[in-house]
Amino acid sequence: MDQAPQPYNDLPLDAKAYIRPDPSHPYAIVTMLQFDSRFTSLHIVGGTAEPGGSRGVHGPGVIPAADQQGNGLLAAFNGGFKYPDGHYGLMSGGTVYVPPVSGVATIAITKKGKLILGAWGVDPQLNSQNTNLVAWRQNAALLINKGVINPLTRDGAAWGGTVLNSAYAWRSAIGITAKGTFIYAAGNALTAETLGMAMKSAGVVMGMQTDINPFWVRAFLYNRDRNGQLQVNKLHPEMQGTGYEYLNGTARDFFYLTRFAPTIPPTW
């Protein structure tokens, strides 16, 4: 995979792995991406229609031009559920697209770029009074909490409506390991429970499910070749989209990651 920016280019920036979490469905494969948070910044973008459009709060739906320049853009991937499917909150760039819901899974970004993943109003850092938060996105209950898979993962109805109401579907999730690295995971023929099992096996201690179903689960890696041309690589060949929807505009909210080189040598 990629190397960290100079002068840290002797270190890996990201890694990719595959996990089969369900012996009863051996064709169910979870593709995992792990990013070194010492050299990456996570960003959250509100879509032009979701989740705030029905409230009259429309997002840009596009990665800012400044982050598309050079070779800073690293990855982009799907966000959470639509507004009607839980009214889960999103704030980014000083705009509250949907107010936060107490007790639900939340990924938040601080002013210094630190990632916090926990339950809103339960984790003492996740509340509306914390002015250190610059962005957050919510989605359903915590999939993994302090290394423990949520026992409610066996209740399919609690994790979003799927195509034909099948418990086995395309699902995605994000998580944080004990060392603070960031993980995105996605795959087909998964239940919330088997997705949680895959995340836990990768070392995730705090995790949340993001969007589900084949139309919305998508992730891409970006890099510029020697000629400066942007190369876009789909995480899984069966995923929808091209990766250019995040560059040109999309109705749905999403996450993206950029590369950066810290001025002070990082440590774990």
User: Is residue 136 scored above 70 in pLDDT?
Assistant: yes
What share of the chain in percent tops pLDDT 70?
A: 99
- Average pLDDT estimate for 19-41: 96
pLDDT averaged over every residue in the chain:
95
Which pLDDT score is estimated for 265?
67
DSSP for 7-51 reads TSTTSB-EEEEEE---TT-TT--EEEEEE-TTSEEEEEE--SSTT
152-163 confidence digits (pLDDT tens): 998 777 788 888
* Residue 54 pLDDT greater than 90, yes or no: yes
Tokens of 44: 């959250």
Summarize pLDDT for 69-103 with one digit per residue, the tens. 999 999 999 999 999 999 999 999 999 999 999 99
Q: What are phi and psi of 216, to 5 degrees?
A: -115, -20
Residues 203 and 104: their CA atoms lie apart, in Å, by 22
For 248, phi and psi rounded to 5 degrees? -110, -20
pLDDT of residue 263: 84
pTM: 0.96
Q: Which among 151, 142, 78, 150 is positioned nearest to 116, based on CA atoms?
A: 142
Q: Residue 161: what pLDDT?
A: 81
Longest dimension (CA), the chain: 51
Closest by CA to 192, choosing from 214, 172, 222, is: 172
pLDDT 10s digits, 210-258? 999 999 999 999 999 999 999 999 999 999 999 999 999 999 999 999 9
Q: Are strands 219-224 and 230-234 parallel, antiparallel or unpaired?
A: antiparallel
* Three-state DSSP class for residue 164: helix
Contact between 59 and 92 under an 8 Å Cβ cutoff? The reply is: yes
Please answer whether residues 108 and 115 qualify as being in contact, where contact means their C-beta atoms are separated by less than 8 angstroms: yes
- The 8-class DSSP code of residue 143 comes to E
- Structural contact between residues 51 and 253, judged by C-beta atoms closer than 8 angstroms: yes
Task: State the pLDDT confidence band at 24, using cuts at 50, 70 and 90.
Answer: very high
Q: How much is the pLDDT for 163? A: 80
Helices (H) and strands (E) in the chain, counts: 3, 17
- The tens digit of pLDDT for each residue in 182-202 reads 999 999 999 999 999 999 999
- Lookup: tokens for 79: 């966000």
Is residue 65 over pLDDT 80?
yes
* Of 204, 215, 216, nearest in space to 178 by CA: 204
